[in-house]
Amino acid sequence: MLDFSLTEEQQFLKETARKFAEKEIKPVVKDVDQNPDPTTSFPWEVIKKAMKLEFGKVLIPKKYGGYGGNLFDYAILLEELAYGDAGIAMIFMINNSLARIIAVVGNEEQKEKWLRPICEDKKGDNIIAGAVTEPSGGSEVFCLLPDPKLGVRTTARLEGNEYVINGQKNFITSAGVAKLYCVMARTDSSKSNVEGCNIFYFPADTPGMTIGKIEDKMGHRTTQVAEIFFDNMHLPKENMLEKLGEGLNTTVEIYKANGVGVGAMAIGLAQAAYDEALKYAKERVSWGKPLIKHQAIATKLAEMRMEIEAARALVYRVIWAIEHPEASGDLSKIGPSMAKVYPTNMVRQITVEAMQILGGFGYMKDFPLEKYVRDSMVMPVYDGANELLKIFISYDL
């Protein structure tokens, strides 16, 4: 049976995260968003407070000091954080997903080495960054074709007991602020991308890694996104997460959390835009009555509400499928892509419609709508461009 009711703990998590979004995130993000210098924008104070509330370790098992939550807890958290700011939610989406994958795929030694410090961190700065995208294309790194020349270009060459990493990554969230990194690299360039990649974790101060240009973005201005260069970075063999050549399989598992996570973020942002538009439609008077009494506006709001609920139901359904693969057919496999594509297309429409309801004020920086539109625009692009994800869904039909 599907049951969407929240447990007492989930209700508490939701209320805590919503309160945090209203009291700690919303009051500071406007200034951060409007800071023209992306190199001084990272909102450390908010992040540290959120880390202290355990938002960075929701998917880490209790055994290693984590919150021990499941993907529902994760989706609930991310929806509420994105209600405050999509960029801040993104940081926690990545942190939890990349910690989860250590717990799911890593060996005991790796879990102790990387998960425990995140949980025992008192400063609240234990951020994780995942470096997959390369200048040759974020879609290219997921190439499923047999030609070994296609796919990931960054290399990991075995020398004795160490791997030597060389190459370049771009558009990496939290590059330059993270304490723990992971990188996808080619361990065997003679094999196809599917059979020749691995994921390596390593601390920020590892010699051989340098941070390049910090990007100046249209939205998500609370995140720091940058290039990373690897020049003969030596990593012990034990830093390789999975068995040799199984890195792309690991990304499929990572994507279970990322797909539903980004979907939940899109829902949180859409809900924030809808709530602003609804409030405005009840207050603004035109032709002698509030905007909401005009059917053109009321039905627009009704459609927005339906779209948000439909997206939320899809994300929850997919999470249930991931947690019950035996009862879900292929949905546990293709569902994470669906849970990302539908809500991220939806949020672009909702933020634009919400801005329209505010008329000219929607376009002004006194209201958050123009920021919501900018924040929504990237969602169908990052974490697997929607075009590519739809192709992956179609492969399994």
Ligand X SMILES: Cc1cc2nc3c(=O)[nH]c(=O)nc-3n(C[C@H](O)[C@H](O)[C@H](O)COP(=O)(O)OP(=O)(O)OC[C@H]3O[C@@H](n4cnc5c(N)ncnc54)[C@H](O)[C@@H]3O)c2cc1C
Nearer to ligand X, 133 or 250 (CB): 133
Nearer to ligand X, 133 or 239 (CB): 133
User: Looking at this protein, which amino acid is placed at residue 391?
Assistant: I
CB of 138 to ligand X, least distance (A): 2
Which residues contact residue 375 at a Cβ distance below 8 angstroms, ignoring those fewer than 6 apart?
85, 86, 87, 219, 220, 269, 351
Residues in the chain: 397
Measured at CB, which residue is nearest to ligand X? 138
Choose one: 97-105, 126-134, 292-300, 361-369; the region binding ligand X (CB under 6 A).
Answer: 126-134
Number of residues near ligand X (by CB under 6 A): 24
CB of residue 290 vs ligand X: minimum separation in angstroms?
37
- 393 binds ligand X per the rule CB under 6 A: no
Minimal distance, residue 337 CB to ligand X, in Å: 13
- Could you give phi then psi for residue 186, rounded to 5 degrees? -90, 110
Residue type, 208: G
Residue 263 binds ligand X, judged by CB under 6 A: no
CB of 213 to ligand X, least distance (A): 13
Write out 108-142 in H/E/C secondary structure. Answer: HHHHHHHHHHHHHCCCCCCCEEEECCCCCCCCHHH
Q: Does 57 bind ligand X (CB under 6 A)?
A: no
Q: Please, which residue, 177 or 357, has the CB nearer to ligand X?
A: 177
Q: Is 131 in the site for ligand X (CB under 6 A)?
A: yes
Residues 225-254 that bind ligand X (CB under 6 A): 225
Choice between 90 and 164, CB closer to ligand X: 90
Among residues 143 and 311, whose Cβ is nearest to ligand X? Answer: 143
Which tokens is 236 given? 């012990």
257 or 378: whose CB is closer to ligand X?
378
Q: How far apart are CB 306 and ligand X at their closest, in Å?
A: 27
Of 220 and 371, CB closest to ligand X: 220
- The residue range among 109-117, 125-133, 151-159, 333-341 that interacts with ligand X, by the rule CB under 6 A, is 125-133
Residue bearing tokens 């909702």: 350
Task: Enumerate residues 136-195 that contact ligand X by CB under 6 A.
Answer: 137-140, 171-173
Site for ligand X, residues 333 to 392, rule: CB under 6 A: 378, 381-385, 387-388, 391
Nearer residue to ligand X within complex by CB, 100 or 300: 100
In whole angstroms, the minimum distance from the beta carbon of 383 to ligand X comes to 5
CB of 259 vs ligand X, minimal distance in Å:
13
Q: Which amino acid is at 318?
A: V
Q: Would you give the binding string for ligand X spanning residues 82-101, x where CB under 6 A is met?
A: ------------x-------
Among 153, 220, 300, 340, indicate the residue that binds ligand X (CB under 6 A).
220
User: Would you count residue 290 as binding ligand X (CB under 6 A)?
Assistant: no
Please say which residue, 131 or 241, places its beta carbon nearer to ligand X.
Answer: 131
Does 133 bind ligand X (CB under 6 A)? Our answer is yes
132 binds ligand X (CB under 6 A): yes
Q: Cα angle vertex 54, ends 14, 259, to 5°?
A: 65
The dihedral formed by the CA atoms of 332, 335, 337 and 338, expressed in degrees to the nearest 10: 180
The residue ranges that bind ligand X (CB under 6 A) are 94, 130-133, 137-140, 171-173, 217, 220, 225, 378, 381-385, 387-388, 391
